Structure 1
Amino acid sequence: MATNPGTSRLIVPAQRGRRSVPLSYTLLDGEAARPALVFLHGLFGCKTNFNSIAKALARQTGRRVLTVDARNHGDSPHSPDMSYEAMSQDLQDLLSQLGLGPCVLIGHSMGGKTAMLLALQRPELVERLIAVDISPVNTTSSSDFPAYMAAMKTIDIPDKVSRSSARKLADKQLSSLIQDMAVRQFLLTNLVEVDGRFVWRVNLDALAQHVNKILAFPPRQESYPGPTLFLLGGNSEFVPPSHHPEIRRLFPVAQIQTVPDAGHWIHADRPQDFMAAIRGFLA
């Protein structure tokens, strides 16, 4: 049964020439004998995206559940390096420190690519893998993220305004470039107050500089032999059938499952179906 969440930052040593950063995380308690569930959010997301799902799955499965802020996101440190190799190293060090390998890695979008790379690099740390609406293929054609970043960079909010006023102003300024209100609301979760000024919590400069790298996937030759689920949104175009051969090459035992009436953010659009798919894959 899940109990007290522990939220912390961890100081970890740099390894193998790549400097990892101490990721912010929340760990829900559960049975130590079973592989923990580890959730990795997507671009512009944070660990709290999975709060209610993490609590529900900890309760339903009795497992430990870890939610993590990627570097340059949430409460984790900023860094000029935004490569998947760096993000994988951050997570490897955190799993090692917490004694959570082998685990069940569940990654959405950018987090899914980090999860896939970690599974390919260190299969002994990953008991099974779930990639949520993402593939090990370049996603440039289906992504509006560069446009979102450009819109976020134009935001101008006066000092000393209230939080509600700041959000309204930012939403109005974003709306000229981003029509989808749900996307604007998601991006606005990154608006935070620092010393009386409202700023973006994500490291927008690093994300914008490396956006092509984030949308791509590092070329790999080795495959991951463990159980793998690619969970796709029925209304999403992020993983077209043309990506399936590369999925099968790198993840030879992968299952591909579609959640009807869900877009790219499956866990937000259809949380019950999302959790049911995870429980089914664990069974």
Structure 2
Amino acid sequence: MLLNYQQKQTALNEADQKCENIFIIHGLFGSLSNLAGIATALQEYQQIISIDLRNHGNSPHSPSMSYQEMANDLFELADHLNIENFSVIGHSMGGKVAMTCALQRPERINKIVIADIAPITYPNKHSDVLAGLKAVAKQQIKSRQSADLILSQYVKTAEVRQFLLKSLQKKGEHYQLQFNLEAIIANYDSIRGWPAIDNVFNKEALFIKGGNSDYICADNQNTILYLFPKAKAKVIENTGHWLHAEKPKTFNRLISQFFN
């Protein structure tokens, strides 16, 4: 599956410095615009490719979305762009895709940055969100305000609703969710899970944790180091799961230092 992508060329002359190709992957319910800040921050020295995962943004829809399939989508796009070796930055679900890429084809991956996710199976954290989105999808939505009113009955945090409704696009007289909600619901157990891959990635890896988030905890350390022996960890204090939005300067600085 050929994904939708946005490519940002570095301002540097390639003769001056060999640039890294870096793919940037958003999380569940997101799109390539979510991590635009780090894409811009890295663009001066690197070649950036931001993508919409399958069933998200402007990428094609599919009834299945295993991590192996989503990783293969990334390699297909890299082949399409004639890129053999590259690095990957991924947040949340996108971080799991990045880790899967590194374990499936380590010879093609240079480095990875994983934002607030671990290679484990998580409990169901999205039952209210999925119920609210289903309620929105059932209605003929004529304004963002009406969608927010429906969603607020299920999701109390305004910032979360604002993020989810970024994917609300107007088509004709009504608004529709851009991501493939039916496929996400059908594959949710796989999305919160972790594929069994018998391999290790013995290259540089950076895991960035939100200080207030429970997505990465001390109990995950051995699992991370088993799969990624050269992993390093950084914590951004006073941030939750959306660390790239809550502390963008710190997030961008840590990743820029890692690559530059």
Q: Does 1:263 align with 2:225?
A: no
CA distance in structure 2 between the aligned counterparts of 1:131 and 1:51, rounded to whole angstroms: 16
Provide the TM-score with structure 2 as the length reference: 0.94
**Cα separation, partners in 2 of 1:178 and 1:231, compared to 1, 3 Å:** same
Q: Does 1:194 align with 2:171?
A: yes
CA distance in structure 1 between the aligned counterparts of 2:186 and 2:165, rounded to whole angstroms: 21
Percent same amino acid among aligned pairs? 35
Partner of 1:18: none
- The one-character-per-residue Cα deviations of 1:139-162 (angstroms, maximum 9, x if unpaired) are 22xx53232111110125446x3x
Partner of 2:51: 68
**Cα separation, partners in 2 of 1:168 and 1:39, compared to 1, 3 Å:** same
CA distance in structure 1 between the aligned counterparts of 2:37 and 2:217, rounded to whole angstroms: 29
Contact 1:157 1:198 in 2 (8 A): no
Partner of 1:149: 130
Task: After superposing the two structures, state which structure 1 stretch, 213-222 or 68-77, moved more.
Answer: 213-222
- Structure 1, unmatched stretches of 5+, are 1-20
Contact 2:116 2:210 in 1 (8 A): yes
Q: Matches of residues 124-203 of structure 1 in structure 2 within 5 Å? A: 124-140=107-123, 144-155=125-136, 156-158=138-140, 161=142, 166-203=143-180
Q: Matches of residues 202-281 of structure 1 in structure 2 within 5 Å? A: 202-281=179-258
Q: CA deviation at 1:244?
A: 1.0
Partner of 1:23: 3
Query: In structure 1, the residue corresponding to 2:63 is in which secondary structure?
Result: coil
Runs of 4+ in 1 over 6 A off after TM superposition: none
CA distance in structure 1 between the aligned counterparts of 2:121 and 2:84, rounded to whole angstroms: 28
- The one-character-per-residue Cα deviations of 1:194-232 (angstroms, maximum 9, x if unpaired) are 232211111000000111100011012210011001111
Contact 1:129 1:228 in 2 (8 A): yes
**Matched AA of 2:9:** D
Query: In structure 2, the residue corresponding to 1:183 is in which secondary structure?
Result: helix
Task: After superposing the two structures, state which structure 1 stretch, 171-180 or 30-39, moved more.
Answer: 30-39
Contact 1:35 1:100 in 2 (8 A): no
**Matched AA of 1:112:** G
- The one-character-per-residue Cα deviations of 1:84-130 (angstroms, maximum 9, x if unpaired) are 01100100010111123322210001100000001001112211011
CA distance in structure 2 between the aligned counterparts of 1:198 and 1:40, rounded to whole angstroms: 25
Contact 1:26 1:67 in 2 (8 A): yes
Query: In structure 1, the residue corresponding to 2:203 is in which secondary structure?
Result: coil
Q: 1 or 2 for the larger relative contact order (CA 8 Å, sep ≥6)?
A: 2
Contact 2:111 2:203 in 1 (8 A): yes
**Matched AA of 2:33:** T
RMSD value, Cα? 1.4
CA distance in structure 2 between the aligned counterparts of 1:224 and 1:154, rounded to whole angstroms: 41
- Structure 2, unmatched stretches of 5+, are none
Partner of 1:102: 85
**Matched AA of 2:93:** M
CA distance in structure 2 between the aligned counterparts of 1:272 and 1:101, rounded to whole angstroms: 31
Provide the TM-score with structure 1 as the length reference: 0.86
Q: Does 1:47 align with 2:32?
A: yes
CA distance in structure 2 between the aligned counterparts of 1:210 and 1:52, rounded to whole angstroms: 29
Task: After superposing the two structures, state which structure 1 stretch, 96-105 or 41-50, moved more.
Answer: 96-105
Q: CA deviation at 1:271?
A: 0.7
**Matched AA of 2:128:** A
